[in-house]
């Protein structure tokens, strides 16, 4: 990570009291700018972000829209440097492009794996028959069915959609993003 000392716009020492929780020991702004952050309202967020969780897996820096924070711990205290990086928008746009390219590559890889699975001879008719028997008189969620048959998400939804169109199964309830199914008794 490249930075210049001129990017540091403010610094703060956040202390921790066992009864009161985190508190500002001192705050110093190095340049007059539009850096208006209410430190009191963000104290707990900053402190937990940098000190919470696993000792071996704690962030050193957190990037926000217009600035980033680098924190160094000293016992229970945190010395936070508030910085404004140069050319942040350009870098974030490039990172967004990289992320989109990676997502597209992974989607293509998943589609290829789905196609290979189909070519390897997955017998969907047999899976449909077993699903109907499994769902006879009980509710089972789509993720459970997917794990049971070791299918991808798109494959199990293809099977369930075909069964639903054939009036062999119906949706019974939705909990969060999870759909539950049961067989239609004929």
- Alpha-carbon distance of 61 to 146, in angstroms, equals 39
* pLDDT tens, position by position, 107-165: 887 776 655 555 455 688 888 989 989 898 899 999 999 888 888 888 889 899 999 99
| Lookup: tokens for 31 | 């340049």
Among 59-73, 106-120, 166-180, the minimum mean pLDDT is found in 106-120
DSSP class of residue 34 equals S
Residue range 72-83, pLDDT digits in tens: 888 888 888 888
What band does 1 get if pLDDT is binned at 50, 70 and 90? low
Q: What is the pLDDT of residue 4?
A: 64
Burial of 128 (0-12, 13-18, 19+ CB in 10 A): middle
Q: Residue 53: its pLDDT value, please?
A: 66
**Looking at the DSSP assignment, which residues form a beta bridge with residue 12?**
27, 80
Give the model's pLDDT for residue 119: 43
Nearest to 127 by CA among 100, 105, 97, 159: 159
Tokens of 110: 């998943």
Stretch 58-81: mean pLDDT, rounded?
Answer: 83
Task: Assign 171 to helix, strand or coil.
Answer: strand
CATH number of 124-183: 1.10.10.10
pTM of this structure: 0.50
| Interval 28-52: pLDDT, tens | 888 777 667 777 777 787 788 887 7
Find the helix packing angle between 153-165 and 124-135, rounded to 10°: 70
Interval 62-85 mean pLDDT: 84
Where exactly are the structural domains of the chain? 5-83, 124-183
179 bridge partner residues:
174
Chain mean position to CA 153: 18
Q: Beta partners for 93?
A: none
How high is the pLDDT of residue 181? 92
């Amino acid at each position: 990570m490249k930075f210049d000392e001129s990017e540091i716009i403010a610094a703060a020492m956040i202390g921790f009291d066992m009864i009161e929780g985190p508190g500002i020991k001192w705050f110093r702004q190095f340049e007059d700018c539009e850096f208006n952050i209410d430190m009191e309202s963000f104290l707990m967020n900053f402190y937990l972000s940098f000190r919470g969780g696993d000792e071996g897996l704690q962030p050193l820096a957190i990037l926000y829209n217009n600035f980033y924070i680098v924190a160094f711990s000293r016992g229970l205290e945190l010395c936070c440097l508030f910085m404004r990086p140069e050319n942040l928008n350009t870098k974030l746009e490039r990172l967004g492009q990289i992320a989109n390219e990676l997502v597209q590559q992974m989607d293509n890889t998943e589609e290829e794996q789905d196609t290979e699975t189909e070519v390897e001879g997955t017998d969907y008719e047999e899976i449909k028959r077993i699903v109907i028997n499994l769902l006879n008189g009980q509710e089972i969620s789509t993720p459970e069915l997917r794990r049971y048959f070791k299918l991808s998400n798109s494959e199990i939804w293809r099977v369930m959609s075909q069964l639903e169109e054939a009036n062999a199964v119906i949706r019974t309830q939705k909990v969060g993003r999870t759909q539950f199914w049961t067989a239609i008794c004929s």
